[in-house]
C-alpha cells in the first residue's frame, strides 16, 4: 500500500547524472515516485526546434526503467495552469519535489498548498544539463 506519494515533473530529454540524483533523492522522501513528463511539443516550445532529442515514448521508457521511478504520466501538448492544477488534485501527492532553481517554484508551492502537500527543494547536482549536452554534440 502506497503511504507517501512524491511528485516531480520535467522534460528528462537526455537522461544524465543530475536527473538520476534528483529522482533518487525525490524518491527517498516517500514510497512512490510519480513523474509528470512534458510533451514533445512543450519541449520544442521551451527549448527550440532541435529538441527534444528523444521523443516522448523513448523518454517515458527510459524513466520507467529506473527502479526508483514508480509511474510516468505523459502530459498533453501545452498544458494550462488549470490542467496542471486539476492533475495535481487527482494525483493528491503528499510531496512535490523540485530543484532549487525551478523557474516555476511559486506555481508548485501554490499546488502543494491546494492539496495539503509539502514542497521539498533538492539541491541541484552539478553536471552538464541536457541543453549543454546537445550543444556539445552540435544539435
Range of the domain at 75: 5-137
Q: What CATH number does residue 44 fall under?
A: 3.40.50.620
Sign of the dihedral through C-alpha 56, 57, 60, 65? negative
pLDDT tens-digit readout, 88-112: 999 999 999 999 988 889 999 999 9
* Local confidence band at 63 (pLDDT 50, 70, 90 cut-offs): very high
Q: Residue 135's pLDDT band (boundaries 50, 70, 90)?
A: low
Most confident of 48-57, 59-68, 121-130: 59-68
How far is 30 from 1, CA to CA, in rounded Å?
A: 12
Q: What is the pLDDT at residue 51?
A: 87
pTM surpassing 0.85? yes
Taking a C-beta distance cutoff of 8 angstroms, is the pair 119, 109 a contact? yes
- Please give the average per-residue pLDDT across 62-68, as a whole number: 97
How many structural domains comprise the chain? 1
Residue 5 scores a pLDDT above 70 = yes
User: How much of the chain, in percent, has pLDDT values that exceed 70?
Assistant: 91
Residue 77 per-residue DSSP state? S
Q: What angle, 0 to 180 degrees and rounded to 10, lies between the N-to-C axes of helices 81-91 and 105-115?
A: 40
Q: How confident is the model at residue 137 (pLDDT cuts 50, 70, 90)?
A: low
Amino acid at each position: 500500500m502506497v503511504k507517501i506519494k512524491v511528485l516531480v515533473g520535467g522534460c528528462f530529454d537526455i537522461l544524465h547524472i543530475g536527473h538520476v540524483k534528483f529522482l533518487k533523492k525525490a524518491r527517498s522522501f516517500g514510497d512512490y515516485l510519480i513523474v509528470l513528463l512534458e510533451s514533445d511539443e512543450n519541449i520544442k516550445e521551451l527549448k527550440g526546434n532541435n529538441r527534444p532529442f528523444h521523443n516522448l515514448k523513448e523518454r517515458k521508457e527510459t524513466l520507467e526503467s529506473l527502479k526508483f521511478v514508480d509511474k510516468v504520466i505523459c502530459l498533453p501538448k501545452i498544458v494550462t495552469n488549470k490542467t496542471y492544477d486539476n492533475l495535481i488534485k487527482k494525483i493528491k501527492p503528499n510531496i512535490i519535489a523540485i530543484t532549487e532553481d525551478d523557474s516555476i517554484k511559486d506555481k508548485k508551492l501554490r499546488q502543494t498548498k491546494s492539496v495539503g502537500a509539502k514542497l521539498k527543494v533538492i539541491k541541484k547536482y552539478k553536471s552538464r544539463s541536457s541543453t549543454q549536452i546537445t550543444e556539445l554534440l552540435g544539435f
